[in-house]
Amino acid sequence: MATSRVLQSFFKQMSRPTGVVGSSTRRQLSAAAASAANKAHSLPDLAYDYSALAPVVSGKIMELHHSKHHQTYVNNLNIALEQYAEAEAKNDVAAMINLQPAIRFNGGGHVNHSIFWTNLCPGGSEVPSDLLAEIDATFGSLDKFRSTFNARSAAVQGSGWGWLVLNKANGKLQIQTQPNQDPITGDVVPLLGIDVWEHAYYLDYENRRPDYLNEIWKVVNWNNVAERWHAAKE
């Protein structure tokens, strides 16, 4: 397992005579090993079967998307974090910097997809009235919100995500897109994400991303979006 390699190297260091590995290095290795063990990420389960979102998103896509794509982000994130802990323990800043793209990409993939699965449910849900009022006040209507969201998400060049976020600085709902697997960061809280990487829709919609975006609203779990919104406002 990923963490045991870090622990093994820690114990190997510990078994050397005191003169070779100073006590501060041993403390660093110990902290690195402990934090690496805590950082091991795992694939979250879906709250529904792979086939439960069909025909909007087929079981074929859901299974690949969850058990292959998301699982790979989790595996590669754990490996990158373990390597980062080792580099940090050796104070190898260049190696730490070199690992940052892998952490950004795989960590972002893990964070984004973990939110995404909860944003969906079989049959979707109604928009809770307080959130609906906020959407109406911000965007004019639910339809106007969706068409703006879809236009922005369809226009993402290459791979990325469309997001509904809460901007904590001004308390307002906003639409934001992110490239690649860059997660939402800063004083902004992600509420609803729609994956527009080709793997999210290709087997069902081919290149027709706008059609996928029109359909996906049928399975959006607005109750979950509202829960995230309430939590973000606290």
Partner 1 sequence: LHCCSLLLTSVTNMIRQAVFRGLNRTGVRSASSFPFEMPTLPYAVDALQKNGISDQTLGTHHGKHHCGYVTKLNAALESKKDLQAQTMEQLITSQPAGPIFNCAAQTWNHTFYWNSMAPGGGGSPTGKLKDAIEAQWGSVDKFKEEFSARAAGHFGSGWVWLVQQDGKLAIMDTHDAGCPLTTSGVTPLLTCDVWEHAYYIDYRQDRPSYIKSWWACVNWDFAAANMA
**Nearest CB to partner 1, comparing residues 72 and 138:** 72
Rg of the chain, C-alpha, whole Å:
21
Kindly state the smallest distance separating residue 84's Cβ from partner 1, in Å: 17
Kindly state the smallest distance separating residue 224's Cβ from partner 1, in Å: 26
Kindly state the smallest distance separating residue 199's Cβ from partner 1, in Å: 5
**Nearest CB to partner 1, comparing residues 133 and 155:** 155
Kindly state the smallest distance separating residue 190's Cβ from partner 1, in Å: 19
CA proximity to 177, closest of 199, 155, 206, 147? 155
CA distance 164 to 113: 15
Q: Which residues pair with 194 in a beta bridge?
A: 162
**Nearest CB to partner 1, comparing residues 105 and 217:** 105
Task: Locate 5 and state its tokens.
Answer: 């390699």
Kindly state the smallest distance separating residue 200's Cβ from partner 1, in Å: 9
**Nearest CB to partner 1, comparing residues 65 and 228:** 65
**Nearest CB to partner 1, comparing residues 137 and 155:** 155
Interface with partner 1 by CB under 8 A: which residues?
64, 68-69, 72, 101, 105, 157-159, 179-181, 197-199, 202-203, 206-207
